[in-house]
Structure 1
């Protein structure tokens, strides 16, 4: 694999390194701005980005343990546990002790949680359309491929 000037300058050990040459700086800015925009759109409907992640994960998995949700959302289990129980108090999810392992809590979307998914998706769609309105499918696919590869490399 050929590594050139861009790779070197993106490495924090290089003397020419700066935030502007760092992919992580740009990713952090992107994710931070995404969260700001999403929170502004979600707050009026009583939601936020962490709840959006949980609802999406449970929509995909139907039933998942707190640790599985935390792993998929890249959040500490203790933080996810608090969030899940707040969401249970809001009747967005239900929890039950696993029938096979009493130490494990399983989480499911409630009807209210499924309804919230539709609301949140419509808000997320606004952000998506603003972010990607002038980006081709091939570029989106390349972006997805690269971010997955980088995630796997770090994981």
Structure 2
């Protein structure tokens, strides 16, 4: 347990540079700063890029499902989708099965923009994983998911 002492904010031994959430925030902040510049050059922001990437996996999807996958609250996601609809990147329509669900679909322009976004973001990703062996990458993914899952009971209250 001594290995965890300096990363525990409840101890006097706490060191911010050992705190996993500081390190994750630092990583995400640096990544977003780099990717934002590249996305802006093709007329996208990070939230719209997230929507395109999520819909690139499977389209259509419900607004709530997209919001959850993008880690953006539903009301904000609704506004993002409205902007993207006005820009012609997605279309939105009520589900035939459940009128309370808005299904969002990539348009041909959205697919084209997704291709552009992939072209500008892929080199950043490739640089990000430089030097990681496949087993190290899989370990990192597994550990991040385990830590997330550990927080799940606390998130439910």
TM-score range, shorter chain: over 0.9
After superposition, residues 58-97 of structure 1 pair within 5 angstroms as 58-97=55-94
State the Cα distance separating 1:61 from its structure 2 match: 2.0
The whole-number CA distance in structure 2 between the counterparts of 1:58 and 1:129 is 22
Unaligned runs of 5+ in 2: 153-157
Deviations 1:103-140 (A, max 9, x none): 22110111111111111111111111221222211111
Counterpart for residue 51 of structure 1: 48
Question: What CA distance in whole angstroms lies between the structure 1 residues aligned with 2:45 and 2:136?
Answer: 28
Q: Residue 112 in 1 paired to residue 109 in 2?
A: yes
**Aligned pairs (5 A) from 1:5-154:** 5-154=2-151
TM-score normalised by structure 2 residue count = 0.92
Structure 1 stretches lacking a partner, 5+ long = none
Q: How many residues align?
A: 152
Shift >4 Å, 4+ stretches: none
What are the Cα deviations for residues 70-91 of structure 1, in whole angstroms up to 9, with x where unaligned? 1111110001000011011111
Deviation at residue 46 of structure 1 after TM alignment:
0.3
